[in-house]
Amino acid sequence: MFLKILLMGPPGAGKGSQSARLVEDYALTNISTGQMFREAYRRGEPLGEKAMAYIKKGELVADDITNEVVRQRLMKKDADRCFLLDGYPRTVEQARALDEMLEKRRSKLSAVINIVVDKQAILERMVGRRVCRTCGLSYHLVFKPTKKPSMCDACGGELYQRNDDRPESVRNRLDIYEKKTKPIIDYYHGRGILKNIDGMQSFENVYRDIRDALETLT
């Protein structure tokens, strides 16, 4: 079975942490729009500059820019069969655009995994998050510390705090999540592919529940 998974949840819910394992265990192509924007910015590409103007403020990048990035990414051969979308779609407009892209390929999503976390935990997770500049893995000062201070366990890269993880942006991102992204849950609800996962557990147990949900598909 060719898994096409969408990973949803508020910022800081643990999408990136779980996707790192999922893509390995299920051999999925990882498509994270946030990560693609950050990489484009780091490489000095015009797309990165344009996207970072929104990201810095905690706003969503415009739908037309984001949809185009995903459309091009999905056309690559490695996204033909199995993929995991992390952080896209984030608006109902984007969800519709994704449906169109998939319909054209006579394809559809296998599952929408929605990680549910309460607001207090989101704040704690985002404020303590540190990300590897080189490989993009995320750590946490308290919940997932690195072995050596400020150095990625996986690649030795330097850790940094994303500029949109500072308290000023975090509040804005949570508001936007409630207003623009949460409605997508209803959009998918009627299709029977939505799996709500309790994200208020350890990394391990969240992963176990996601795996269990995916096993019911195969």
Which parts of this chain interact with Zn ion (CB under 5 A)?
A: 132, 134-135, 137, 152, 154-155, 157
Asked if residue 129 binds ligand ADP (CB under 6 A), the reply is yes
Q: From residue 175, how far is each of 31, 69, 119 by CA, in Å?
A: 24, 24, 11
- What type of residue is 96? R
Considering only 61, 84, 98, 174, the residue that binds ligand ADP (CB under 6 A) is 61
Catalytic residue selected from 4, 125, 129, 195: 129
Residues linked to residue 116 through DSSP beta bridges, in sequence order: 198
Catalytic residue selected from 15, 125, 130, 195: 15
Asked if residue 187 binds ligand ADP (CB under 6 A), the reply is no
Q: What is the arrangement of strands in the sheet containing 159-160, beginning at the earlier edge strand? A: 138-140, 129-132, 159-160
Asked if residue 17 binds ligand ADP (CB under 6 A), the reply is yes
Q: What is the DSSP string of 89-124?
A: --SHHHHHHHHHHHHHTT---SEEEEEE--HHHHHH
Which DSSP state fits 15? H
In angstroms, what is the minimal distance from the CB of 215 to Zn ion? 30
Q: Which residues bind ligand ADP (CB under 6 A)?
A: 9, 11-17, 33-35, 37, 54-55, 59-61, 66, 87-90, 94, 125, 128-129, 138-140, 143-144, 164, 173, 202-203, 206
Catalytic positions? 15, 90, 129, 162, 173
